[in-house]
């Protein structure tokens, strides 16, 4: 297995198809011809394998915004397995808010925007689950913290791969990680981030207000 990191290529391909056919990126899948789709699939696989070991049978792309393009994925790679990672909404929002993302991700600095974004992500994922033939596994952060081995074994089984004890010692791997989680993956599983938002409730009332309003909707 190889983790390719957070690749921009899927989004770029979907946007390119949308630009050619004058369609929004989320509509790109319905505009593809068979030969064109094969070419796009080849381009994406080439990007996916860019730094992977030769003949690696399983490669992950953990770009969080790939969820927008799952109809596109279903057309290009009908046998793909999708791992949908979920977390307490307020903890998730706080983690994003505290990260220094680039200026294009303006929603990351506003709790109301974050609440809206997370609500739309969940709405879209519920839709994909109901209409796409893709196999999608929901993995909750809190469940992983509570039972790493059980969750890891379930995930490996979902991927159709043999179990390897090294899955429980991920923090001892020495491969390069260039995403914001690079420091966390060098540590064993810890529980201090579960319910973390409650420690900031007094100082960030707008966080609780934003999600309270979302839950009323």
Which portions of the chain are predicted below pLDDT 70?
18-35, 171-172, 174-188, 215-217
Q: Give the pLDDT confidence score for residue 174 in this predicted structure.
A: 67
Q: What is the pLDDT of residues 147-196, one digit of tens each?
A: 999 999 999 999 999 999 988 887 667 666 656 665 566 566 888 899 99
Distances (CA, A) of 190 to 101, 146, 195, 205, 216: 24, 9, 12, 26, 32
Quote the crossing angle between the two packed helices 111-131 and 89-97, to the nearest 10°. Answer: 130
* Domains of the chain with CATH codes: 1-79 (no CATH), 83-217 (3.40.50.300)
For residue 52, CA distances in Å to 6, 70, 83, 156, 178 come to 14, 23, 20, 19, 15
Predicted local confidence at residue 16, as pLDDT: 75
How many whole angstroms separate alpha carbon 176 and alpha carbon 200? 32
SS3 73: helix
Q: What percent of the chain has pLDDT over 70?
A: 82
Three-class DSSP category at 175 = coil
pTM of the full structure: 0.85
What the block records as the tokens of 136 is 């999608």
């Amino acid at each position: 297995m190889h983790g390719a990191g957070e690749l921009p290529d899927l989004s770029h391909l979907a946007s390119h198809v949308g630009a050619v056919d004058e369609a929004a990126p989320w509509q790109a899948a319905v505009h593809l011809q068979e030969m064109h789709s094969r070419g796009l699939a080849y381009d994406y696989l080439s990007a996916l394998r860019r730094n992977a070991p030769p003949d690696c049978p399983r490669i992950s792309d953990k770009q969080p915004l790939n969820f927008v393009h799952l109809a596109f994925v279903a057309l290009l790679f009908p046998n793909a397995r999708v791992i949908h990672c979920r977390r307490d909404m307020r903890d998730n929002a706080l983690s994003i808010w505290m990260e220094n993302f680039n200026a294009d991700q303006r929603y990351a600095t506003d709790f109301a925007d974050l609440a809206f974004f997370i609500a739309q992500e969940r709405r879209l994922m519920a839709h994909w689950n109901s209409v796409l033939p893709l196999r999608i596994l929901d993995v909750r952060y809190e469940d992983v913290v509570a039972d790493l081995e059980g969750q890891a074994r379930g995930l490996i089984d979902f991927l159709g791969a043999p179990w390897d004890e090294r899955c429980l010692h991920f923090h001892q791997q020495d491969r390069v990680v260039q995403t914001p989680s690079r420091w966390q993956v060098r540590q064993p599983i810890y529980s201090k981030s579960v319910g973390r938002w409650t420690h900031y409730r007094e100082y960030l009332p707008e966080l609780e207000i934003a999600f309270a309003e979302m839950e009323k909707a």
